[in-house]
A and B are shown apart, each in its own frame.
Chain A
Amino acid sequence: MKRILLIQLILVLLVVVSCKKDYPIDDDGLLITQRADCYVSNFELLGADFQTVRTKAATIDTTAQTINVEVLFGTDLKNLYPQFTLVVDAVLDPKIVGKVDFSDLTKPKEWTVVSGNRKVRKTYKVFLTVKQ
């Protein structure tokens, strides 16, 4: 009787252990996947009133790793909220946690896209021009 119980216990343990999978996650608790794709697919820029300040769609060059965006005349460049759309599983570094000051047009802001497997990093420069 005792031997049967022991065997059953071992079987249960085996089942439990066999079901456990190890999913790797990064520091933010996001899954690290096998994807090596690393690019920006869309870019939006919002003003203090959370309305777009773009005059047209941003031009994204994934080879040169640049984003060119023209903003409306009278845009408050010190208080803008950029929004990136990235390829699946990729993340942005540094994270955007609030408004960003774009007022120095000679110094483009930079963000790095990190692929899903966290092995590929591509730094994009965001160039702003104000419609005149």
Chain B
Amino acid sequence: MKKIKLKILMSLTLLVLCLGACKDKEYAIPTASDKLQNDLIKRSLGPNIVGGTIEFAYAAAILPEKGKLSSMTVEASIAGAAGTYLDNRFFNTSSSGADVGTAVGDPSVTIGKSTSVTYTGNFSAATLRYFYKIPEEARGKSVTFTFTAKSSNGETISYQSGPHEVRNMDMALDLVAKDGTDCYISIEDMKVYNAAFATANPDKIDLVYLYRTPATVTYLHSLVAPTADPSYWPTFTMPTVLKNKTKIVKAFTVRDQQLARIQYGVFVDDVDLSSKDFADAPDFAINVKAEGGIWVQTADGRYNAYVYVNTVTNTATVKEMKISIKRLKVR
């Protein structure tokens, strides 16, 4: 008898559990806080590099009946370089997909470490974008940001972001090396030079860009060190003063997003450059292709770099290679 009672009790419990599990909670619209609120996202990805930009989107809102937004301020722990600003517009997407900006006030004012926008319109909610141009002073350091919003009813709210580490490397984008003219590449300067400059400054020249189409082998767009075997720079007269034996390692799938600015989520960071192994590396890279690249160590061992090939052109009149460089001083 006891066993039967236990069974009935267990069955009832299960039934209750089943019924309870099937019960849907009715959705209720959340009640908005009546305080001034804020939120932040960091829009830029990848290593923070001097000269580059860290981008944020800072949002603040207050119930319309409580007040209006009166200002937004961003304070960086290290003052941004020229070009740092807080956009005075928020954006909507039009039916055609374009960003349409609406100004909330005058353009931002930067005084020292602080950048502000004062609202002049009647806005209870807005998201503004902040662009921090990384200054030289921040190299190798961390930078933090304090975002602050104020409303007309006297409320203030803040959001801290960071620390964000700034890397030691440098970056140069879209240098164009031209076969026969501006074909001498300096890693130290991250520039492309002509023969006259190269001859006058041989220590600076680490790579020579050539485009050739020999009959029997594939050469096409190539990057060679001045010391490479002459068979690797056919029909070219290397200035005799050039002596740098640059170490070169070919790469193909390292499509750094900051250099390539295409869809791949790959980033070359300080640690990649400093830890790259150049033992037994040759001094030539033959048939380098677009979206490929080369790891480079200068002859004096002072710089390690990654040279990404953005595009190559070989039309009847133009033979050139567009490159972008990340470079780290290692000694």
Contacts and interface: CB of A to CB of B under 8 A. Distances in A.
A131 B292 contact: no
Nearest to B293: A49
B48 to A, nearest CB: 28
Contacts of B286: 72-74
A106 interface: no
Nearest to A79: B280
Contacts of A49: 249-253, 292
B280 A101 contact: yes
A73 to B, nearest CB: 4
Given A49-B250, A79-B249, A131-B217, A74 B284 contact: yes
Interface of A is mostly: loop
A73 B251 CA distance: 17
Interface in B226-256: 232, 249-253
Interface in A100-127: 101
Contacts of A82: none
A131 B216 contact: yes
Given A49-B250, A49-B251, A50-B253, A76 B219 contact: no
A15 to B, nearest CB: 34
Interface centre among A49, A72, A78 (most CB of B within 10 A): A49
B287 interface: yes
B282 A47 contact: no
Interface in A7-53: 47-51
A73 B219 CA distance: 8
A50 B253 CA distance: 9
A131 B217 CA distance: 7
Contact of B217 (A48, A51, A76, A132): A132
Contacts of A132: 216-217
Contact of A74 (B216, B280, B281, B287): B287
Contacts, number: 45
Given A72-B287, A131-B216, A51 B280 contact: no
B95 interface: no
Given A72-B287, A131-B216, A78 B252 contact: no
B218 interface: yes
B222 interface: yes
B249 A48 contact: yes
Interface residues of A, number: 14
Interface residues of B, number: 20
Nearest to B282: A76
Contacts of B281: 76, 79
A73 B250 contact: no
Interface in B44-70: none
B252 A74 contact: no
Contacts of B217: 72-74, 131-132
Nearest to B229: A74
A48 B250 contact: yes
B322 to A, nearest CB: 19
Contact of B250 (A76, A78, A101): A76
Contact of A50 (B214, B232, B252, B287): B252
Nearest to B286: A74
A28 to B, nearest CB: 27
Nearest to A130: B217
B146 to A, nearest CB: 45
A48 B253 CA distance: 11
Given A78-B280, A79-B280, A72 B252 contact: no
- Sort A-B residue pairs by CB-CB distance and give the 10 closest, nearest first: A74-B286, A73-B217, A49-B252, A49-B250, A78-B280, A76-B282, A48-B249, A49-B251, A48-B250, A51-B252
Interface of A: 47-51, 72-74, 76, 78-79, 101, 131-132
19 contacts: A47-B250, A49-B249, A49-B251, A49-B253, A50-B252, A51-B252, A72-B217, A72-B286, A73-B214, A73-B217, A73-B219, A73-B286, A74-B217, A74-B284, A78-B282, A79-B249, A79-B281, A101-B280, A132-B217
